[in-house]
C-alpha cells in the first residue's frame, strides 16, 4: 500500500502477519480486512470469526462512489475512521449515539435510539456497530419493517448481553454484511474493518 495510508512500521507488521497466517481462504479484499483487524488487535482468532455475506466489498464500493453516509453506533468508531474517510471517499461520518433524543422510551438505550433516528435520515447508509448490540438489533428491526435498506452492515459489537443474539439476527438478513461471530468485536475492530474497506475500494475502483 502507498505510504499515503501506511507507515513503515505498519507495513512491517503486515508482513509479519502474512508470515504467521500463512495459507488462507480469503479473497484479496477479504484478507485486507482480516489483516487489518489482526494488526489492530494482535489476535489471530479473528481470522476464524470473520464472516462475509452478500458481496460486501462490492456493496461498499458502490455506496462510497454514490456518497453514502457512514453511520456508527458510538463516537469511538467514528473517530477511528474519520482520517481515512477524509483521505479517500470523503464520506460523511455520523455517530448515532450523539443523535439520541433526550427522552428515551422505557428500556431503550441511547445507541439504539440514535441508530433508529440516523437510519431514518440515511436509510441506505453504511452502518457499523462496534460496541452496542442494541444498536445492531435496532437496525435489524428497521430492515425487517421495511424502514431501512442499508448498503452494508458491519456487525462487531463486543460483550456478553445480547451480543451473540444481535449478530445472529444480522446473519439472517439478506443484506450485505461483515460480522464477527461470537462475543468478540469492539469499536477498534469495527473501525479497522471500515478503514480496510475504504482503502481497498479506493485503490481498486
Choosing from 7, 24, 39, 99, the catalytic residue is 39
Check if 99 is active-site: no
Q: Do 125 and 150 contact (CB within 8 A), yes or no?
A: yes
Enclosing H/E stretch for 152: strand 152-155
Report the SS3 class of residue 12. helix
Q: Do 63 and 126 contact (CB within 8 A), yes or no?
A: yes
Cell reading at 58: 462490492
DSSP track, 37-103: HHHHH--TTHHHHEEEES-HHHHHHHHHHTTPPEEESSHHHHHHHHHHHHHTT---EEEGGGG--SS
Cell reading at 197: 474497506
Cite the active site residues.
39
Amino acid at each position: 500500500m502507498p505510504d499515503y495510508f501506511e507507515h513503515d512500521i505498519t507495513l512491517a507488521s503486515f508482513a509479519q502477519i502474512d508470515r504467521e497466517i500463512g495459507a488462507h481462504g480469503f479473497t484479496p479484499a477479504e484478507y485486507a480486512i482480516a489483516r487489518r483487524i489482526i494488526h489492530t488487535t494482535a489476535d489471530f482468532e479473528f481470522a476464524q470469526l470473520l464472516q462475509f455475506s452478500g458481496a460486501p466489498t462490492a456493496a461498499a464500493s458502490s455506496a462510497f462512489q454514490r456518497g453514502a453516509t457512514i453511520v456508527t453506533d458510538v463516537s469511538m468508531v467514528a473517530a477511528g475512521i474519520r482520517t481515512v474517510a477524509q483521505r479517500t471517499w470523503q464520506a460523511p461520518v455520523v455517530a448515532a449515539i450523539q443523535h439520541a433524543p433526550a427522552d428515551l422510551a422505557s428500556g431503550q438505550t441511547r445507541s439504539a435510539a440514535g441508530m433508529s433516528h440516523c437510519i431514518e435520515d440515511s436509510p441506505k447508509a453504511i452502518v457499523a456497530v462496534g460496541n452496542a448490540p442494541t444498536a445492531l438489533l435496532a437496525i435489524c428491526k428497521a430492515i425487517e419493517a421495511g424502514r431501512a435498506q442499508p448498503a452494508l452492515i458491519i456487525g462487531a459489537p463486543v460483550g456478553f448481553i445480547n451480543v451473540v443474539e444481535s449478530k445472529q439476527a444480522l446473519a439472517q438478513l439478506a443484506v450485505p454484511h461483515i460480522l464477527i461471530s461470537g462475543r468478540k468485536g469492539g469499536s477498534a475492530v469495527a473501525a479497522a474493518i471500515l478503514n480496510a474497506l475504504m482503502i481497498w475500494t479506493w485503490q481498486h475502483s
